[in-house]
Amino acid sequence: MFKIALCQIKVEDDKYKNLNKAISYIKEAKENKADLVCFGEMFICPYRKSLFKSYAQEEKNSYILNELSIAAKENNIYIVAGSIPEKENDKYYNTSYVFDKQGNIIAKHRKVHLYDVEIDGKITNKESDIFSYGNNITVFDTQYCKIGLSICYDIRFPEIFRIMEQKGAKLIIIPAAFNTITGPMHWDILLKSRAIDNQVYIAGVSCARDCKESYVVYGHSKVIDPLGNTVGSLDEKEGILYSDINLDYISKVRKQLPILNHKRSDLYETKIK
């Protein structure tokens, strides 16, 4: 059993203010006995295409990543740092970094599926104008269990979740920035579907809603258990959601409803190319 904290922060147009807010949330989560703290997609930078390049961080030389590393160490807590724009050479990525309790980067996930859509004139988005595609399916080890990591639109691609389960993930964290069009339609059902398919805990973490932005994020961070029940959920405002992850419960569900053992691997398989 361990405790996670989903921090749904309202992002402002100032990376240092956002960083300081994130650090105060990390301290609060620690005071409330969380073992791992996570943030939403673009928690340091408003989800605005015009800002992604100027907010981008280079891993070797990043004040933001360095401060998050210090916060992980000082608070003795795992941090899943939502996502930030990352710059490497001439390319930009939408990247989530993970720090262990000593402040080491133990994983990074570059968003694999970029959100290029045109929905009824309501949402027009083309992340691939700025970002390059990540090419890895990410699972990392912690002292509690293996944890999978993907970003927002990645949730619509069930194969990568099956692969994370096959790699041993018991909890999958999804920093996200769903919007007020697709959020009400699909957010809850996608989180539940991925949890039920793979009999894992799913933690979907958003930033808080800001109606003044042109891209309005949905909020509603939530944790789903391996049977598809909602363990806890926030509304659209700022806040922290705490949830216990009970690994024995996963074993119990998998024993009673052994779908993962009933796969017809002689007939089909899901694998990395």
CB 6 within 8 A of CB 234: yes
| The one among 44, 177, 207, 216 contacting ligand AKG by CB under 6 A | 177
- In the DSSP assignment, the letter for residue 91 is E
- Total residues interacting with ligand AKG, rule: CB under 6 A: 9
CA distance 161 to 153: 12
Instruction: By CB under 6 A, name the one of 26, 178, 225, 250 that touches ligand AKG.
Output: 178
CB of 67 or CB of 188, closer to ligand AKG: 188
| Helices 158-166 and 188-198: angle between axes, nearest 10 degrees | 40
Question: In this chain, which of 97, 131, 153, 161 binds ligand AKG, going by CB under 6 A?
Answer: 153
Q: Which of 7, 38, 45, 152 is catalytic?
A: 152
Site for ligand AKG in 180-199 (CB under 6 A): 182
In the list 115, 131, 161, 201, the residue contacting ligand AKG (rule: CB under 6 A) is 115
Residue 195 CB coordination number (10 Å): 26
Minimum CB distance to ligand AKG smaller for 97 or for 131: 131
Closest to ligand AKG by CB, 156 or 263? 156
Residue whose entry in the numeric block shows the structure tokens 């006995």: 33
Identify the helix (H) or strand (E) that includes residue 64: helix 63-75
Distance CA 163, CA 88 (A): 27
Q: Is 118 a catalytic residue?
A: no
Query: Based on CB atoms, which residue is closest to ligand AKG, 77 or 152?
Result: 152
Give residues 40-99 in contact with ligand AKG (rule: CB under 6 A).
41
Cα 195 from Cα 105, distance rounded (Å): 26
Q: Which residues pair with 117 in a beta bridge?
A: 125
Report DSSP state, residue 121.
T
Judged by CB under 6 A, the stretch of 30-38, 152-160, 250-258, 264-272 that binds ligand AKG is 152-160
Please pick, from the candidates 48, 156, 167, 254, the single residue that binds ligand AKG as defined by CB under 6 A: 156
Find the largest Cα–Cα distance for the chain: 54
Q: Output 185 or 260, the one with its CB closest to ligand AKG.
A: 185
The span of 148-156, 167-175, 195-203, 261-269 binding ligand AKG (CB under 6 A) equals 148-156
Q: Does 131 bind ligand AKG (CB under 6 A)?
A: no
Give the list of residues 6+ apart from residue 208 with CB closer than 8 angstroms, or none. 8, 9, 10, 11, 217, 219, 236, 237, 238, 239
**Annotated catalytic residue 58:** no
Q: Is 58 helix (H, G, I), strand (E, B) or coil?
A: coil
Q: Catalytic site residue 145?
A: no
The angle formed by the CA atoms of residues 6, 41 and 248, to the nearest 5 degrees, is 40
Residue 61 DSSP label: G
Contact positions vs ligand AKG (CB under 6 A): 41, 115, 152-153, 156, 177-179, 182
List residues with catalytic annotation: 41, 111, 152
